[in-house]
């Protein structure tokens, strides 16, 4: 008799976003005439840059002709894209990441999730609190999280690092050794960014105890402050302790086009094995590469026209972030993030529970947000707003929120 | 100190296809003037159908406009594609598979590999011998295979089902219970197809002992004999014991475009859990869906023009298969498959080891094949040829092989 992976049964039944969808649908059914503004889910709204669309057209045409058709591509991604990324994202910032240390994939979520395949099951895992749920859930599924305690909202085997107003939402370096540390900067959901010194402290910690930092840099393109690192590899020593995840989703509007990339330096070795080789084996066995059309589109992001169009989109969203942050601060709310980040993390008024504030904003302002409690115990008392919406509607949403407070 | 997943270290260092690539590269270096014909790797050579390319163009244009842009799609795939598949691949053949039992993905290899996530680690696994290496390697990585014995070429915890000339390359139903059974028909590498009765025997076995059949139907489009089932779900009772994997790769030339689909019937339950729900949770957590452009291209495969163009491509490859099969039979070799299948499985002459015959064909006929030993112990004494090449070159390759025998 086949038996299932019991760990799946430990996952709480309600996802954060399905519960939000349920409440929104219920409200809509009762109030069909109300126009809701969605600032909850982190999905972009600007179309793909024209240079990307043009490259996809050319690639589709190539795929339709015998002489230029391409079958199976390299599991690691085409060299033209890996080399372009190495040059523009890393060499141009003085970072030594080579093309053969870059793996193209269909999403940072896929890579963040699948990376656990290459690690031993008994590795001890540390996550920020609040946290992007994928880091936790994938470790639950693979048996590293232990048991869930509904009273505390925590898993027994995970090490939680509270990110609060007091520590400016930056986790303090741990006093005890762990094996895997998930860090995400600019942070989802808090919008916090880490300084060079803060990242250096984590790199030193990891190198001292042999931990691996799983560094999610999906939002690095939103950094405007020249003092803030875009990559963990800007920190000396990171090449022996860090894996970095990046994505075209929030940079170039690829949430529906699906392309991301993960860096594993050759120098990253544990138990005598190069993690790059393990990941390569994992990808060659369980993955067959990203569509040629998609990779051609992604490469166009780095062309002069593509880069300019991406900058325009990023500026568009940055203005939304400023609008939300400043508008809510003016309304008397404590708002964080929104600088160097597309996320704004907002304290609920008078210590209101985050799901109550979510309901209040849904019903009275007709604005959909994300309750902070969904990201972990320390997210209680906050909501998350995103800058990825239409500019006019975003401004309208801020006005509506101000008007009901 | 982070520790790696030890199971990765158990995998033999040399992949089958990298060893082939090494030998081919060495020969080319020494003989730069020789033109090699590649009939080894199962990659297609015909371009994408014009209807698919046209649909990709339209979809790329939609992604470039604010009003028609699409961000994150459903992790399970768009309804337009799931419903089209349910109608054309299943309802049209009288099979009750609903759209909500179909999961769109980036590849059958990905799904065959990732499906092990939802099963307990101590499930006992049965595979055909010879076998598509992904079934074995993914179970090695997840700790189900035990230890490798280089002397036998077998893993200690896997149950091998020999597929030989004596049993017409169809595994006999096991006498003992196992938990997971991988079956692939039309088979890779032997080209064998299973009759309704043979599949029914496996379905009865699985339902009797609670096993799950992981049914790889990636090559079903090559079936022309109306008596041969295309889907395991044509067998009554399969909905309570089988997961089926399909792909657009070999049907519509999507090896470089990346789209596949996996069926998990709602009725498939183990340990009180619906496997469909577990897979849905897995995909929602570790996957973010297939590109919209790709899914639009895949849907066009079912349009009248697309279906006609796909039929033409399939006929093209089928003629190659007949050419290879008949040519090698006429040359006095024992050739199997190549009917209802794009693979031809050829016995080496005089019991020659398969790597020796591979070398002979490489050096004397300048034809690249795949040595059967690479697919498992029972593959020794065979080579695999594929029908996916250029027609003229395929005929030339057959002539070359005949001339040296």
For residue range A27-74, what is the model confidence (pLDDT) as tens digits? 999 999 999 999 998 899 999 999 999 999 999 999 999 999 999 999
Instruction: Say which of B69, B210, B257 has its CB closest to residue A1.
Output: B210
Q: Which residues pair with B32 in a beta bridge?
A: none
Banded pLDDT at B14 (limits 50, 70, 90): low
Q: Record the tokens describing residue A402, joined without a space.
A: 């101000």
Residues of chain B contacting residue A43, judged by C-beta atoms under 8 Å apart: 71-72
What separation in angstroms does the CA of B149 have from each of A88, B155, B156, B372? 46, 6, 7, 18
DSSP for A273-325, please give it.
EEHHHHHHHHHHHH-----HHHHHHHHHTTSHHHHHHHHHHHHHHHHHHHHHH
Please name the residues in contact with B348: beta carbons below 8 A apart, sequence gap of 6 or more.
B354, B356, B357, B381, B382, B383
Interface of B with A in 160-199 (CB under 8 A): 177, 179-180
**Among B342, B350, B344, B326, residue whose Cα is nearest residue B405:** B350
Q: Record the tokens describing residue A78, joined without a space.
A: 């085409």
Shortest Cα distance from B117 to chain A (angstroms)? 7
Residues of chain B contacting residue A135, judged by C-beta atoms under 8 Å apart: none
ipTM of the complex: 0.97
C-alpha A236/C-alpha B151 separation (Å) is: 46
Q: Is the pLDDT of residue B183 over 70?
A: yes
CB B56 to CB A56 under 8 A? Answer: yes
Locate the chain A residue with the closest alpha carbon to B133.
A285
Whether A159 has its CB under 8 Å from any CB of chain B: the answer is no
The long-range contacts involving A90-96, CB below 8 angstroms and separated by at least 24 positions, are A90/A231, A90/A233, A93/A230, A93/A231, A93/A234, A94/A234, A95/A231, A95/A233, A95/A234, A96/A233, A96/A239
Average model confidence (pLDDT) for chain A? 97
Whether A18 has its CB under 8 Å from any CB of chain B: the answer is no
CB A294 to CB B292 under 8 A? Answer: no
Q: Computed from CA positions of residues B269, B272, B278, B281, in that sequence, does the dihedral angle turn out positive or negative?
A: positive
C-alpha B116/C-alpha B108 separation (Å) is: 13
Average model confidence (pLDDT) for chain B? 97
Q: Is the pLDDT of residue B160 over 80?
A: yes
Helix axes B292-300, A50-63, angle to 10 degrees: 30
Locate the chain B residue with the closest alpha carbon to A13.
B281
Going by their DSSP bridges, the two strands B273-274 and B269-270 should be labelled as: antiparallel
Whether B288 has its CB under 8 Å from any CB of chain A: the answer is yes
Whether B285 has its CB under 8 Å from any CB of chain A: the answer is yes
Residue B41: per-residue pLDDT: 81
Query: Which string of b and e fits A311-327 if b means at least 16 CB within 10 Å?
Result: eebbebbbebbebbbeb
| Measured CA angle at B329 (ends B323, B333), to 5 deg | 125
C-alpha A382/C-alpha A97 separation (Å) is: 37
C-alpha A258/C-alpha A105 separation (Å) is: 8
C-alpha B107/C-alpha A49 separation (Å) is: 27
Q: What is the mean pLDDT of residues A243-253?
A: 97
C-alpha A216/C-alpha B388 separation (Å) is: 41
C-alpha dihedral over A267, A268, A270, A275, to 10 degrees?
A: -110
Residue A14: per-residue pLDDT: 67
Residues of chain B contacting residue A47, judged by C-beta atoms under 8 Å apart: 63-66, 68-69
Percentage, residues of chain B above pLDDT 70: 100
Residues of chain B contacting residue A72, judged by C-beta atoms under 8 Å apart: 41, 43, 255-256
How does pLDDT run across B56-73, given as a tens digit for each residue? Answer: 999 999 999 999 999 999
Query: Which string of b and e fits A250-287 if b means at least 16 CB within 10 Å?
Result: bbbbbbbbbbbbbbbbeebebbebbbbebbbbbbbbbb
Residue B4: per-residue pLDDT: 97
How does pLDDT run across A361-402, given as a tens digit for each residue? Answer: 999 999 999 999 999 999 999 999 999 999 999 999 999 999
Interface of A with B in 365-404 (CB under 8 A): none
Q: What is the mean pLDDT of residues B290-312?
A: 98
Q: Record the tokens describing residue A256, joined without a space.
A: 């529906």
Name the pTM for this structure. Answer: 0.97
How many residues comprise chain A? 405
Q: Is the pLDDT of residue A316 over 90?
A: yes
**Phi, psi at B158, each rounded to 5°:** -90, 145
Locate the chain B residue with the closest alpha carbon to A3.
B120
Contact A261, A102 (CB under 8 A): yes
Residues of chain B contacting residue A292, judged by C-beta atoms under 8 Å apart: 256-257
Banded pLDDT at B377 (limits 50, 70, 90): very high
DSSP state, A64? Answer: T
Percentage, residues of chain A above pLDDT 70: 100
**Among B325, B83, B349, B318, residue whose Cα is nearest residue B222:** B318
C-alpha B354/C-alpha A37 separation (Å) is: 65
Helix axes B292-300, A292-300, angle to 10 degrees: 150
C-alpha B282/C-alpha B173 separation (Å) is: 31
Banded pLDDT at B339 (limits 50, 70, 90): very high
Whether B227 has its CB under 8 Å from any CB of chain A: the answer is no
How does pLDDT run across A218-229, given as a tens digit for each residue? Answer: 999 999 999 999
Q: Is the pLDDT of residue B390 over 70?
A: yes
Coil, strand, or helix at residue A397? Answer: helix
Q: Which helix (H) or strand (E) covers residue B261, if one does?
A: strand B260-263
Q: What is the mean pLDDT of residues B137-160?
A: 96
First to last CA, chain A: 58
C-alpha A358/C-alpha B49 separation (Å) is: 49
How does pLDDT run across A184-205, given as a tens digit for each residue? Answer: 999 999 999 999 999 999 999 9
Whether B11 has its CB under 8 Å from any CB of chain A: the answer is yes
Where is average pLDDT lowest: A234-248, B15-29, B304-318?
B15-29
Q: Computed from CA positions of residues A255, A257, A263, A264, in that sequence, does the dihedral angle turn out positive or negative?
A: positive
Whether B208 has its CB under 8 Å from any CB of chain A: the answer is no
The widest CA-to-CA distance across chain B, in whole angstroms, is 67
Residues of chain B contacting residue A270, judged by C-beta atoms under 8 Å apart: 1-4
Shortest Cα distance from B367 to chain A (angstroms)? 20
Shortest Cα distance from A183 to chain B (angstroms)? 16
Coil, strand, or helix at residue A349? Answer: helix
CB B137 to CB A285 under 8 A? Answer: yes
CB B44 to CB A71 under 8 A? Answer: yes
C-alpha A113/C-alpha A330 separation (Å) is: 39
Locate the chain B residue with the closest alpha carbon to A71.
B256
Shortest Cα distance from B32 to chain A (angstroms)? 22
C-alpha B224/C-alpha A165 separation (Å) is: 67
CB B256 to CB A4 under 8 A? Answer: no
The half-sphere exposure of A289 on its side-chain side, counting CA atoms within 13 A, is: 23
CB B291 to CB A4 under 8 A? Answer: no
**Radius of gyration of chain B, Cα coordinates, nearest whole angstrom:** 21
Q: Where are the alpha helices (DSSP H) in B131-172?
A: 133-141
Shortest Cα distance from A27 to chain B (angstroms)? 22
C-alpha B252/C-alpha B47 separation (Å) is: 9
**Among B188, B172, B173, residue whose Cα is nearest residue B134:** B188
Q: Is the pLDDT of residue B293 over 90?
A: yes
Banded pLDDT at A17 (limits 50, 70, 90): confident
Percentage, residues of chain B above pLDDT 90: 97
| Measured CA angle at B72 (ends A31, A139), to 5 deg | 105
**Radius of gyration of chain A, Cα coordinates, nearest whole angstrom:** 21
Contact A63, A70 (CB under 8 A): yes
How does pLDDT run across A70-124, given as a tens digit for each residue? Answer: 999 999 999 999 999 999 999 999 999 999 999 999 999 999 999 999 999 999 9
């Amino acid at each position: 008799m086949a038996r299932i992976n019991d760990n799946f049964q430990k996952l709480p039944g309600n996802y954060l976003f399905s519960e939000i969808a349920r409440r929104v649908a219920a409200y809509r059914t009762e109030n069909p005439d109300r126009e809701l503004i969605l600032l909850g889910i982190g999905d972009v709204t600007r179309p793909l840059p024209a240079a990307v669309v043009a490259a996809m057209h050319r690639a589709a045409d190539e795929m339709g002709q015998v002489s230029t058709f391409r079958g199976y591509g390299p599991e690691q991604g085409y060299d033209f894209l890996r080399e372009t990324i190495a040059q523009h994202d890393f060499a141009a910032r003085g970072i030594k990441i080579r093309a053969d240390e870059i793996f193209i994939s269909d999403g940072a979520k896929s890579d963040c999730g699948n990376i656990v395949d290459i690690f031993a099951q008994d590795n001890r895992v540390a996550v920020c609190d609040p946290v992007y749920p994928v880091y936790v859930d994938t470790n639950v599924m693979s048996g590293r999280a232990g048991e869930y305690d509904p009273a505390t909202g925590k898993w027994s085997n995970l090490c939680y690092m509270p990110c609060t107003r007091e520590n400016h939402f930056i986790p303090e370096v741990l006093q005890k050794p762990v094996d895997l540390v998930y860090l995400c900067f600019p942070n989802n959901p808090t919008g916090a960014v880490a300084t060079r010194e803060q990242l250096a402290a984590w790199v030193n910690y990891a190198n001292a105890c042999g931990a691996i930092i799983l560094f999610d840099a999906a939002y690095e393109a939103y950094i405007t402050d020249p003092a803030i690192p875009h990559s963990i590899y800007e920190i000396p020593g990171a090449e022996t302790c860090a894996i970095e995840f990046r994505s075209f989703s929030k940079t170039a509007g690829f949430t529906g086009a699906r392309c991301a990339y993960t860096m594993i330096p050759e120098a990253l070795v544990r138990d005598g094995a190069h993690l790059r080789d393990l990941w390569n084996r994992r990808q060659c066995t369980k993955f067959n590469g990203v569509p040629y059309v998609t990779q051609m589109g992604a490469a166009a992001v780095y062309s002069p026209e593509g880069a300019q169009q991406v900058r325009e989109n990023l500026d568009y969203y940055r203005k939304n972030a400023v609008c939300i942050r400043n508008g809510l601060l003016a309304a008397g709310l404590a708002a964080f993030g929104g600088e160097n980040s597309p996320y704004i993390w907002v304290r609920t008024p008078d210590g209101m529970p985050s799901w109550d504030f979510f309901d209040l904003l849904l019903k009275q302002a007709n604005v959909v947000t994300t309750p902070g409690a969904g990201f972990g115990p320390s997210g209680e008392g906050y909501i998350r707003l995103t800058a990825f919406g239409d500019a006019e509607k975003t401004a309208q949403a801020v006005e509506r929120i101000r008007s009901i407070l």
